[in-house]
Amino acid sequence: MIFKGVGDGRPYPEHDFDTPARWAEIPPTQVRLDELVTTKRTLDLDHLLSDDSTFYGDLFAHVVRWKGTMYLEDGLHRAVRAALQQRPLLHARVLELGHEQSARSAS
């Protein structure tokens, strides 16, 4: 199995990291694909196969850690590409939500 789970939607509360500039405040780190739960059930193959799929967006996936679970909010195509290349890790910006909030998201 590639991911820990496949979700359908965001089970965590809304957050104010809704622009690329806000996400850029969080330094990227490596996360294991098998520790991620997706927030989307489907993937657009055109987006996956596009050479410039990250040209206008963040180079790093966006992950939200909530109640000890890491949810892949943005970057499903990057994660699937990593899996197809047999890479178990993905570079992502991880936002800590809730009482476990850390200095990474307190900026």
99 against 68, higher pLDDT: 68
Euclidean distance between CA atoms 20 and 41, whole angstroms: 23
Each domain of the chain, given as residue ranges in start order, spans: 20-100
Tell me what the mean pLDDT of segment 52-75 comes to: 83
* DSSP H or E stretch at residue 73: strand 69-74
Euclidean distance between CA atoms 87 and 64, whole angstroms: 21
Provide the percentage of residues in the chain whose pLDDT is more than 90.
60
Tell if the pTM clears 0.85, that is, is over it.
no
Mean per-residue pLDDT of the chain: 84
Question: What sign does the dihedral 32-38-43-46 (CA atoms) show?
Answer: negative
Q: For the segment 16-41, what is each residue's pLDDT rounded down to a tens digit?
A: 999 889 999 999 999 999 999 999 88
- 20-100: what fold? 3.90.1530
